[in-house]
Amino acid sequence: MQTHNLGYPRIGSDRELKKACESYWAGKISIHDLVKVGKTIRNQNWETQKNLGMDWIPSNDFSFYDHVLDTSLMLGAIPKRYNKILENQSNSELDLYFAMARGVQKDGIDVRAMEMTKWFNTNYHYIVPEFEENQKFSFFSTKIVDEFLEAKNAGINAKPVIIGPVSYLLLGKEVDKSFNKIDLIKNLLPVYIEILNKLKEAGVEWIQFDEPFLVMDLEPKAKEALRYVYNEIDKQFPSIKKMIATYFGSIGDNLELAYSLPVQALHIDCVHGFKQLDGALELAPKEMILSLGVVDGRNIWKNDFDKSLDVIQKAVTKIGEDKIFIAPSCSLIHTPVDLDLETDEKTLTPEIKDWLSFAKQKVEEIATIKALAIGSNDSEILDKKERNSNSIKNRKESVLTHNKEVRQRMEQLQSISDKRISAFSERKKKQLEALQLPLYATTTIGSFPQTKEVRSWRSKNKKGIISDSEYQKLLEEETQRAIRIQEEIGLDVLVHGEFERNDMVEYFGEQLEGITFSKKGWVQSYGSRCVKPPIIFGDVYRPEPMTVEWTSYAQSLTDKPVKGMLTGPVTILQWSFVRDDQPRRDTCYQIALAIRDEVHDLEEAGINLIQIDEPAIREGLPLRKNDWQDYLQWAIKAFRISSCGVKDETQIHTHMCYSEFNDMIQEIADMDADVITIECSRSNMDLLEVFSKFKYPNDIGPGVYDIHSPRVPTQEEMVFLLKKAKESIPVEQLWVNPDCGLKTRGWDETKKALEYMVAAALQMRQEV
């Protein structure tokens, strides 16, 4: 029996990578300094896992931005528009890489970024590979070989991690629809063969091929591609031990396919696909190792050793101890780095902290579970088991997890209306009369730039350097400034800017009971963007209004309408570490009731536009379509519970981003938001096709510029996108807005981009 890990957080224990990347982009440090930070993080990660007793440690799990983008660069899948970057001899490979991720607009070069979307059903965003018909691939970046050798030279038993060729193709998009991306497999495989040759020369023993699409519904072509790929790899590399890793769900009807592939090990997720164990053991080939993902790689609750040992014992009985690996369910990039860094007992109380486990602790859990499974009598190991049992028992019995009033309200849920008073067509008439907005009404998604000054005020206030009243005054001044800027630019619907907020989920979590936080529990969302997810440990409720004061203050500064800005229940759920002792549905309904109370208070305060953001509603879909109906039923109901207790004149907005809507367009319509804003610019409005075919009945604001890139698009670009939008959506239904919130951008680029956006809207109005 051996242990291994599928991946370790790459951001550093204090977000060193974020700080280094942003300093490099700002020209404050050299590429040499950036590379040095990356190497330090890698070596620290390897050493940590080695010291904790991991038998096989992943390499190539580190990334400066995104592991899918790393794979595209490795395979030479570089869109032609980046040739200008390549031609400039002063640009490094990393400059090309960051241009693909973020776009670039300097030195006469103006190139947009590649599209970005969610990694399966997580809040991690990856850069979508772009494929042309008969796409050519080549071994461009040698990162995977370099980092294996780096680990080997450091005395690490390294197992390189690589996205499997079939999953890589399925993660990408065809630039045009004239071909099927899976047909590129014969162009792609020779490059994988070349990479494996280099790894073989470097002395590799195990390679981990991530093929997460094996837990999805697969087309026959994809299944055939899997057989073709791994048979060819096995023919050429019989001496290399190959593991196929699946995660986030059950392999299900793809199990026989997975077992038919000529590989030495198969990893299955025994946490999120716990029902698959019996079938996997029953059909397991005698010669194949089964890797059991028994420690949750996506949540932060301490592992229940007894449950994991039951799973392992069942496997040992069926296939033998020597045919078992123990691992986390998936890569640990979805968890914070180290619970030992949580030393502030006011933020995270000792009682709740005792229930938790971050990446470092999960690696230790895996090593301890192995020791227990093989019958260790070591006193330290037995002591860990006793402490684990006490932690699990204490959490189950804690009075912190249940609230009587919340439970009583949940029992009355059926009596709470989740429908608007009138149909949208009737509501729209009343809203048009009340709001007097023009065609192509302009707005933003909510947040405005959180400058260093704004962030420093928050930090100083928390440290007691500036008083609450001083902090309040500074925020009022910044809010007033944002309102004046929006008025000068000519936006039709304003926002207060959210300068008092740290994060769109964290801010609400801090004001809701049943939720706590960590100080250092950062997780990568995309690139250098890290979030600190709330920890939902108990029943959730709102003790007092959360946003009314700031929204009302902003509205008092202007005659133009100001939107109330809320985060929706599904997104708060999805972007938190959620309690696992009750159905996620019930937790979501509790949050929905809290948001409903806030919506009511905003309306009472005279706010007649209220945005309830749900960017994560698509992300929450189960990976198998057969499992969708139950999730969609309660997720849509949760949104409607939060949004439907208002008058017809009150306009409800929602926002979604980086999602494919084709398969759930009916449910989006069922949400019945008066206005939906969506990310559209990176896809050149392609996402609108489904809204057009469906004849989406409510208003829609397709994003006309990408806020995740520092480049400022021109007015002409935005007009082009709006004209494309007009081909799909009636003019009367169109709003004009950016793709997402502007929190991460600077004021100069924000003002310029919004000026162009308003000018584009005015131009479109003149052409009506």
CATH number, position 642 = 3.20.20.210
Residue 530: inside a domain: yes
Question: Per the annotation, does 604 bind a ligand?
Answer: no
Number of domains in the chain: 2
Question: Per the annotation, does 619 bind a ligand?
Answer: yes
Question: Per the annotation, does 446 bind a ligand?
Answer: yes
Distance CA 369, CA 380 (A): 13
**Predicted local confidence at residue 15, as pLDDT:** 97
Residue 84: inside a domain: no
Distance CA 162, CA 281 (A): 26
* Mean pLDDT, rounded, of the chain: 95
In terms of domains, do 125 and 193 share one?
A: yes
Question: Per the annotation, does 477 bind a ligand?
Answer: no
Distance CA 368, CA 303 (A): 11
**Pair of tokens at residue 41:** 């993080």
Question: Per the annotation, does 445 bind a ligand?
Answer: yes
CA distances from 382 to 355, 372, 388 (A): 18, 8, 10
In terms of domains, do 292 and 327 share one?
A: yes
Question: Per the annotation, does 740 bind a ligand?
Answer: yes
Question: Per the annotation, does 383 bind a ligand?
Answer: no
Q: Long-range contacts of range 258-262, CB-CB < 8 Å, 24 or more positions apart?
A: 258/214, 259/283, 259/284, 259/285, 259/288, 260/227, 261/226, 261/227, 261/230, 261/231, 262/230, 262/231, 262/234
pLDDT above 80: residue 670: yes
The helix or strand, by DSSP H or E, that contains position 704, with its residue range, turns out to be: none
pLDDT above 90: residue 347: no
Question: Nearest to residue 348, comparing CAs of 476, 149, 520?
Answer: 520
**Predicted local confidence at residue 528, as pLDDT:** 96
Q: Specify whether the CB–CB gap between 753 and 705 falls below 8 A.
A: yes
In terms of domains, do 541 and 638 share one?
A: yes
pTM above 0.85, yes or no: yes
Residue 679: inside a domain: yes
**Pair of tokens at residue 172:** 């990408």
In terms of domains, do 343 and 289 share one?
A: yes
CA distances from 755 to 111, 126, 242, 343 (A): 21, 30, 54, 46
For residue 291, the SS3 value is strand
Residue 106: inside a domain: no
**Among the three residues 397, 431, 446, which one is the final residue of a domain in this structure?**
397
Question: Per the annotation, does 498 bind a ligand?
Answer: yes
In terms of domains, do 433 and 388 share one?
A: no
- pLDDT tens across 509-550, in order? 999 999 999 999 999 999 999 999 999 999 999 999 999 999
Residue 407: inside a domain: no
Distance CA 424, CA 699 (A): 10
Residue 541 CA neighbour count, 13 Å, CB half:
13
In terms of domains, do 352 and 384 share one?
A: yes
Distance CA 75, CA 249 (A): 28
Over residues 564-593, the mean pLDDT reads 97
For residue 735, the SS3 value is strand
Residue 109: inside a domain: no
**Predicted local confidence at residue 660, as pLDDT:** 67
**Predicted local confidence at residue 706, as pLDDT:** 83
173 vs 659, higher pLDDT:
173
In terms of domains, do 485 and 351 share one?
A: no
Distance CA 185, CA 341 (A): 45
Residue 404: inside a domain: no
In terms of domains, do 446 and 298 share one?
A: no
Distance CA 148, CA 532 (A): 31
In terms of domains, do 318 and 222 share one?
A: yes
In terms of domains, do 324 and 452 share one?
A: no
Distance CA 740, CA 757 (A): 14
Residue 406: inside a domain: no
CB atoms within 10 A of CB 124: 18
In terms of domains, do 751 and 602 share one?
A: yes
Distance CA 569, CA 665 (A): 19
**Among the three residues 344, 366, 397, which one is the final residue of a domain in this structure?**
397
Question: Per the annotation, does 556 bind a ligand?
Answer: no
**Among the three residues 364, 397, 430, which one is the final residue of a domain in this structure?**
397
Range of 298's domain?
2-79+114-397
Question: Per the annotation, does 15 bind a ligand?
Answer: yes
Q: Which of 258-262, 521-525, 725-729 has the least mean pLDDT?
A: 725-729
Question: Per the annotation, does 536 bind a ligand?
Answer: no
CB atoms within 10 A of CB 666: 11
Q: Specify whether the CB–CB gap between 72 and 78 falls below 8 A.
A: yes
**Pair of tokens at residue 683:** 């896809």
Question: Per the annotation, does 53 bind a ligand?
Answer: no
Residues labelled as active-site residues:
708
Question: Per the annotation, does 87 bind a ligand?
Answer: no
Over residues 637-657, the mean pLDDT reads 95
Question: Per the annotation, does 512 bind a ligand?
Answer: no
- pLDDT tens across 133-155, in order? 999 999 999 999 999 999 999 99
Question: Per the annotation, does 655 bind a ligand?
Answer: yes
pLDDT above 70: residue 659: no
Taking each helix axis from N to C terminus, what angle separates 747-766 and 715-728, rounded to the nearest 10 degrees? 50
Q: How confident is the model at residue 687 (pLDDT cuts 50, 70, 90)?
A: confident
Question: Per the annotation, does 679 bind a ligand?
Answer: yes
Question: Per the annotation, does 447 bind a ligand?
Answer: yes
Question: Per the annotation, does 428 bind a ligand?
Answer: no
Q: How confident is the model at residue 682 (pLDDT cuts 50, 70, 90)?
A: low
pLDDT above 80: residue 686: no
In terms of domains, do 386 and 432 share one?
A: no
Q: Specify whether the CB–CB gap between 189 and 130 falls below 8 A.
A: no
